[in-house]
Amino acid sequence: MEDRGSRFLCTLRRVADEDEARALVAALRREHWDARHHCSAFVLGPDGAFQRSSDDGEPAGTAGAPMLDVLRGAGVSDVAAVVTRWFGGTLLGAGGLVRAYGDAVRAALAEAGTLRRALLTELALDLDHADAGRVEGELRSRGVTVLETTYDARVRLLLAAPADEVDRVVELVAATTGGASVPEAVGERWVDLST
């Protein structure tokens, strides 16, 4: 976006930790070496508890804080936003900067869209090759998340379900296999869910 000659480019990335967020800022600083500012904000953790922002030379509170407010307002986590600014020669004032940096992040979020993530229980299900395709298709058609399918001497389906739905998945497997197979809980994983 542009405001009175200054250009603002927002880069959004999913990041796993603070090191990845800081590496993104450093990479953009190298890539856009001719820009005057690389302001940043990031929210990390399943509950968004870890938050940081930087004005990178802009007047205090006019860049990083408004960017962080937009991320918090959108309810996103595990994301870093970096707004790169090329100065256009006209001072925007504190209000103009707050608006421009916030709008750049809002526009990037709208363009990128968001995913919902959930901590799901992983269930391993071992099947004979002859039954695997039918069972997998039946489970998928009933809304069961299939994370992986591995072919070896037997076929292993790695399923995922919220903790309160594990019993339902076990019952579906029993019904689909005539009681011949039982999935085994093998761990937990954060999974992106379609909305």
Q: Which domains does the chain have, with CATH numbers?
A: 2-112 (3.30.230.30), 116-193 (3.30.70.240)
Q: How far apart are the first and last CA of the chain?
A: 28
**CA distance linking residue 77 with residue 42, whole number of Å:** 8
Rounded to an integer, the average pLDDT of 3-19 is: 90
Q: Which long-range contacts (CB under 8 A, 24 or more apart) does 90-95 make?
A: 90/4, 90/5, 90/6, 92/3, 92/4, 92/6, 94/59, 94/61, 94/62
Q: What is the mean pLDDT of the chain?
A: 92
Which one, of 177, 179, 176, 129, lies nearest residue 156 by Cα?
Answer: 129
Whether the predicted pLDDT of 165 surpasses 90: yes
Q: How many angstroms separate the Cα of 128 from the Cα of each of 101, 150, 156, 160, 186?
A: 56, 12, 9, 20, 20
State pLDDT tens for residues 72-124. 999 999 999 999 999 877 778 888 999 999 999 999 999 998 888 888 999 99
| pLDDT tier for residue 194 given thresholds of 50, 70 and 90 | low
With a threshold of 0.85, does the pTM exceed it?
no
